[in-house]
Structure formats: C-alpha cells, structure tokens
Structure 1
C-alpha cells in the first residue's frame, strides 16, 4: 500500500489561501484622510491673514501625513526652508498669503488625499467660495468681496455663462446639485472679474472628501480594464486550485482474491457425506494478493 505525505495533500489548499491573501494585500487601499482648510475659502487677497491647513481623519488629526503644495510643476513640503508655507506640527501648517497653489495630504507610504486649490489675488475683488466640497441638497452662499469698501451689487458667472446679479454682493445656490459644479467668478460695476474657482459637489452617498484625486477618463478606463483582467485571472486560478483539491482522493484499498482448489476437484467446502472438510481433504491453498 502506498501513502501520501499529509503536506502534499495540503499544498493546493495552502496555495489557494496564499492567493487570496496576495489579492487582498494588492488591492488598492482607500484612505479616509482629507485636507482641511480654515477658513474654508479658495480666494484670498495677498497679504491678508494666514490660512491653516491640516490632514484629518474623521475629524481627528491624522498622524504620519504631511501637507504639500504644488505650483509651477514643483512640489513643496510644508515647513520648507525660506517659505511662507510653515509647519506648526507634523500634520498642521500655516500658509502666509503671498502665493497660492494646489494643496493635498500625502502619507509616508505615498497615499494622497484630494487636492484643494487656493488663489492669492492682487486684484480689487475676490469671490468667497468654499474650498472643500459641498453636499447635494445643501444651500451655498457666494460673496463677491471687494478689497476696499462695502459689498455692492455684483454679477456672478459660472463656466463663462452669466448667472445673474445679487444685491449686496451675494448669490445663493439653493438645494445644490451636481449640475451646480463649475468654475465661478464675479464682478461689479466698478471692479473687474475675480479669479475663477471651482465649486465641487458631492452626493450624500459618496464620501465628502474623495480619498484620491479623480484620474483622467483614459486612466479610469485603463484601470477598470486592469481590474477586470485581474478578476478573471483570479477566478480561473481559484477554479483550477479547487478542482485540484477535489480530484485528490484517498488511494483504493488493495484487492485481495482467494482461490482455493480441492484435492479431488469436486469438493465445495463440504464432503459428500456431509462432514466438514478437514485439512487432509485440501490439496493446497493458493493465496493471491493484488496490489
């Protein structure tokens, strides 16, 4: 009789478990960390008070994350020498308003949060618009604020299309929907247009702060295709491993056949006179083992 080592029988199952672990570990990790901006605005006048930026996770400071700024194709860490982009602690920074840029949180492993753009204007009017995404169904108020003097009647534009005018430099977006997303600006009768800033809207069923910046459409299609290929390969390999586990059965027990022949060829286990067959009545006994 031949026997198989237990480790040999366990190999396909162990391989299957390792495959599942590798798939889970290789899946993209979604981060809930987002960039917080205070005050929650995108446009500021040059030389005004500082803006404070921090990396937060569910309202708490996220350790191990750093605020970074991108401008002119270069990326700058918070607290860089000789910069107005100063560090208060590991995840909290203050931005002196001399230059703007795009800001985001980056972890030590390279994960990134969403980006927030901040404009520093030398003009005479700015648009006060939220820097962070707003939820669908909420009300948002935009203000056209001059550098000097009181707010006055202002005109608001979205994606270069006039929306209308608002008294006291105010425009209210009621029950915001995704269709309200776009580039907004404003101007008055005596002030040129402000810089453009994008209003971002998030559905109630999606995170308020997307963990990763939205990839270009071509990259999204490629990523979807890669995920489908990986899923198909995983299903095929899993099926093969399961079939291998099921096909490995315990070896058949050895067949043993007994062939007995009587001395005179006519005995069938009992003598003709009804007496039991004795050892003397048996000519020979042949035992055949088939393995």
Structure 2
C-alpha cells in the first residue's frame, strides 16, 4: 500500500510539472491583452463576468484558460461570459490562441464574503494615479474603510475610496481593505511597471 501511494504521488507531481512546463513554453503575444468586465480583480460569488481577448486573430479562434488547466470558454467571437462566478473559479486566467500564443495573466478572486477591493486589472505605469475602492456586497455608501498594503495600514477613508498619487515601483504589492462591521476583502496584487520608453 505504501509503494502504491508513493507511485501515485510521484505520478501526480510529474503531471503538475509537465503542465507547468507546457504553460511556460507558450510564447506571450506582444500587444495581446486579457481583459475582464467588470474591470476589477475581485468579484462576489454569483456575479456575472465577461472575458475578452484583444490582439489575437479572432477568426482563428481563442480560448480562456485558467491555472487549473480548465478551458473556461472556447470562442471565435470577441467576448465570452460566465453568468454565475463561483468561489472555485478563483485563480489565474489568460487568453490562448489556436497556435498556443498567450496573453498576459490575470489573477481573479471570487469571494463568498461581504467585502471586495476594486483595483486595476492591468499593470499601472509609474507616475500614474491609482484609485482603490472598498465595496460591500450590498454596496452601502459612506462606510469608513481601512486600506492595507502587504499587511500594513496605509490609510483610511470615510468614502471607501483612496487614491495613490504618482505610483512608483515601491507601491507594487498586495492590497486589501477592511470595513468595520462588514468584513475584510481578499488580497489582490497591484502591479506597477516602469515608465514607457520611446519603443512603446
């Protein structure tokens, strides 16, 4: 029994490594973007969410994949929609063309909790301003929210919104928010990229 269990574990590990190797071998298509509507990284369960792939040859077909190696949709149109997102749908997503080319990867969190943090889906360029919003499931306004970066309090807001002016690489990190009496949001990564150069 012990030998059989060891073999099963070895086969499982080998399968995961093979999937990871295949995923890394796919080239990322320059200018191809994965986009999500609504344009935020966190969703409440049972919300509707749409995906779109830009920069691909749509007529050749593309699909949305996730880190669990599942195909969310296989389309020859511009967008695909999941009418009811579940907590189990959380994870990394990307667009994949028929030839294996991939877009950027987006990490989506679907929560069964009462609070989410609205933050940019795509990386933000240095020097730009970024707005973060803490929102409850019932969308109640005028609730004081505390905002955290990498576990440290960075500010509070009586409107549930906070703006980071002229972001820099040091603002890259994991953000979350908390509304007293309502709950705490999951964490999402705010990615900051370097300033665009002449080759952009």
Q: Which residue of 2 aligns with 1:77?
A: 71
String of CA shifts for 1:112-141, please: whole Å, max 9, x gaps. 221001111111111011111122211111
RMSD: 2.4
Match of 2:52 among 47, 54, 65: 54
1:163 matched to 2:154: yes
Q: Distance in 2 between matches of 1:104 and 1:29?
A: 10
| Mapping for residues 114-125 of structure 1, pairs under 5 Å | 114-125=104-115
Distance 1:181 1:33, change over 3 A: same
Q: Which residue of 2 aligns with 1:66?
A: 62
String of CA shifts for 1:56-104, please: whole Å, max 9, x gaps. 12xxx63235232324xx212233xxxxxxx564452112322332110
Q: Which residue of 1 aligns with 2:17?
A: none
Relative to the length of structure 1, the TM-score reads: 0.53
Q: Which residue of 1 aligns with 2:82?
A: 95
Which structure shows the bigger proportion of residues in strand conformation?
Answer: 2
1:109 matched to 2:99: yes
Which structure shows the bigger proportion of residues in helix conformation?
Answer: 1
The one of the two structures with greater contact order (alpha-carbon pairs below 8 A, sep at least 6) is 2
| Mapping for residues 1-291 of structure 1, pairs under 5 Å | 31-48=30-47, 50-57=48-55, 62-63=57-58, 64=60, 66-71=62-67, 74-79=68-73, 89-96=76-83, 97-98=85-86, 99-148=89-138, 149-205=140-196
Which consecutive residues of structure 2, in runs of 5 or more, have no partner in the other structure? Answer: 1-26
Distance 1:65 1:31, change over 3 A: farther
Of the two, which has the highest radius of gyration?
1
Query: Is the 1:185–1:194 contact (alpha carbons within 8 Å) kept by the matching residues of 2?
Result: yes
Q: Distance in 1 between matches of 2:61 and 2:170?
A: 33
Distance 1:65 1:197, change over 3 A: farther
Which consecutive residues of structure 1, in runs of 5 or more, have no partner in the other structure? Answer: 1-27, 80-86, 207-291
Query: Is the 2:125–2:196 contact (alpha carbons within 8 Å) kept by the matching residues of 1?
Result: no
Count of aligned residue pairs for this structure pair: 168
Relative to the length of structure 2, the TM-score reads: 0.74
